[in-house]
Structure 1
């Protein structure tokens, strides 16, 4: 067995922050595609949300993979479902970038993403409105524009912003707690305890009874700016949705190796700019579950149909002695 250049301790460290990760969406699809079924379900009518070239990044945050999505104005909404959560707290992180807010309303704007209990019942909604020097970000427990709390920061156009939002399903009625963090410090990435939020609001109306999906929403020209979104994570802990860079040669550091699709069901492809000699797939406990030797190749297809659903690490060694790793969602 060829010795991998990535130590077991580093692999376990990569998984540690993702122990309660529910879903990860890096938009690792072809440019020009719409969001694919069954991972995403389109609702309403109108123009699509398209995959666009490139990705968004934030200093200290886990390196991005794949591409991003771009949208604006009125059009189809998309929802991504997962196992229903009826207690506790659900977190979501995303990278966003507003590229044009000229038509965006400057008073209440509109909301573009958040959590949902079904196709029409939303909560933890993230809002934007036009500001003097860019745009502001706001938060509601549900979706009433009478209950928006705003952060006064003017976020600049074409500048990536990291947003984390949480929704706590509190026992009782009219008391769920929703929080939002705007550009949290990298020193808090992967922490066991969440830092002080930028915004907090407590619901005073009907609470969500469950959370089983997230949504991306296109409302109207005055409510939805020209917007890019990337690197969506949903989890049950702060650490699971705020992974830091690992300090090792990750695949996405220089795009030497691309893994797609991700998440994958049956087949996963590794495309490399360098010749690959060996690939290991590790499970959550750092055990090798698949191992392959190659005679120097740049395009590999792996059959992962026999793997259980979960989070894995693909580690690829190249013929010139380099090692690259990428998390894989099955």
Structure 2
């Protein structure tokens, strides 16, 4: 009798870190009045301007891999926070992404700032710079924009997404840069709340905003959070699930089923194998 072999693949019971994921911070550390580990304020920021802290609870977004631990709480003060990213070096045609979850806790028309990934020695060079802030006078909406230069707040190429987003929701922010062969033929892209149907896949959806590069910068080493103003403290807003990667699947990983789901899958497959064997023996 011909023997039939049924391989049982137990997916996800072991895990490995993708070589395309350069940075991940889920802020899985104890609640603290200080900024999370590895997030450093600018050297010139005085104690009165500091506002970063580890706050209780994580943020979530439907379809995105579950977060653990706590989150990064910030306020509308002037301290900027920097994270040293392991060097990401691109070849022509390759892409670097960053992503994070953002949630505002109060409505405030004075909010504004940006998040930017750049090459630290070239502080005025090409960067993926995402601006954000209040979008109307009644404190209900926020807006986002994309800029292709670092530390150039009035650069003419900054463009907005064209849509307002609730100040009280949790938003998934994803931005990218693809290196071109010349200074201005690379491309930057921005997605706000991309479809969960694309999470964990190899192909990103159409971006909300795209913009040409400022220069052909092939290396990225630093991420900075810039918050402008002199508003309240403690945490007016939070960020969580910060990632830097060179593919879409790693920057927006899909939800991983619970172990009980895998156990059910294994159980069902085992039952199918037993049934098949009994059917074969009865012939």
Normalising by structure 1, what TM-score?
0.64
Match of 1:217 in 2: 226
**Which position in structure 2 is the counterpart of 1:20?**
20
Secondary structure in 1 matching 2:223 = strand
1:10 aligns with 2:19: no
**Counting helix residues as a fraction of each chain, which structure ranks higher?**
2
Q: Which residue of 1 aligns with 2:143?
A: 136
Q: CA shift at 1:234, angstroms? A: 0.8
Contact 2:78 2:230 in 1 (8 A): no
Preserved CA contact (<8 Å) 2:113 2:226: no
User: For residues 100-138 of structure 1, what are the alpha-carbon distances to aligned partners after superposition, in whole Å with 9 as ceiling and x for unaligned?
Assistant: 352426xxx432x12020063461111113223411111
Distance in 2 (alpha carbons) for counterparts of 1:116 and 1:170: 16
1:192 to 192, 195, 202: 202
Looking at structure 1, the residues matched to 81 and 113 of structure 2 have their Cα atoms a distance apart, in angstroms, of: 16
TM, length-normalised to structure 2: 0.74
Aligned pairs, how many?
Answer: 236
Residue 82, structure 1, aligned to residue 85, structure 2 = yes
Q: Does 1:127 align with 2:126?
A: no
Please say which structure displays the higher CA radius of gyration: 2
Where does residue 108 of structure 2 map in the other structure? 102
- Structure 1 gaps, min length 5: 1-6, 251-330
Q: Which has the higher contact order (CA 8 A, sep 6+)?
A: 2
CA distance in 1, matches of 2:227, 2:216: 24
| 1:61 and 2:64 are equivalent in the alignment | yes
Q: Unpaired runs of 5+ in structure 2?
A: 1-8, 261-283
Q: Distance in 2 between matches of 1:25 and 1:33?
A: 18
Rounded to whole Å, the distance in 2 between the matches of 1:215 and 1:8 is 40
**RMSD, aligned α-carbons:** 2.7
8 A Cα contact 2:182 2:215, kept in partner? no
Partner residue in 2 for 1:165 = 175
Check conservation: 1:34, 1:50, Cα contact below 8 A: yes
d(CA) in 1 for partners of 2:157, 2:133: 14
Contact 1:86 1:169 in 2 (8 A): no
Runs of 4+ in structure 1 off by over 3 angstroms are: 119-122, 205-209
CA spacing shift, 1:129–1:233, aligned 2, 3 Å: same
Partner of 1:318: none
Is residue 155 of structure 1 aligned with residue 165 of structure 2?
A: yes
* Cα-to-partner distance string for 1:152-193 (whole Å, 9 max, x where unaligned): 322112210011111122222233311011111111001111
